[in-house]
Amino acid sequence: MLDSISFIVYNAGAPQGSKRHVGNGRMIESSKRVKPFRSAVEQVAIDAIPVNWDLGREFNVRVDFHFKRPKSHLTSKSTLKPNAPLYPTSRAVGDLDKLQRALLDSLIGYAWYDDSQVIGITACKRYADQDQTIITIDYV
């Protein structure tokens, strides 16, 4: 049995957190990107996680959220402008904790029974050539 799995989701991630009230006690996600991100994670997880994976264990997770660098950060020669940020810190990208929340919740029922089983997480967000999320899950 494997002690670790890794997979790549070709989606940069979306922050999950704030909800807004739409009436009659209904709340919906403020970010329209959350649902497609969670769906993409679920689809890749279905293929990547083996059938004998033990969902009842404790886990450590490593996740790298890669965001495509905006064109405004580049010169006309595709080189980085001198004052361009090195890491994605804009509100459009989202808070790292909210990105993690969307990821962990999307793996419920696929990698673990409940995200409370994740006892350690290492996460980062960075610019890259393409949007993607790289996920590694280890048994403790």
Structure tokens at 39: 């769906």
Range in 69-78, 104-113, 118-127 with the lowest mean pLDDT:
69-78
Give pLDDT, residue 30. 62
In a 13 Å sphere around the CA of 124, the CA atoms on its Cβ side amount to 6
* Rounded to 5°, angle at Cα 54 from 51 and 56: 140
CATH number at residue 128: 3.30.1330.70
Give pLDDT, residue 90. 83
The residue-averaged pLDDT of 78-85 equals: 84
Going by pLDDT thresholds of 50, 70 and 90, the confidence category of residue 56 is very high
Going by pLDDT thresholds of 50, 70 and 90, the confidence category of residue 57 is very high
Going by pLDDT thresholds of 50, 70 and 90, the confidence category of residue 29 is low
- Residue 88 in this model has a pLDDT that exceeds 80: yes
Give pLDDT, residue 84. 84
In contact, 71 and 140? CB cutoff 8 Å: no
Q: How many domains does the chain have?
A: 1
Reference 99, options 4, 9, 3; nearest CA is 9
Range of the domain at 83: 4-139
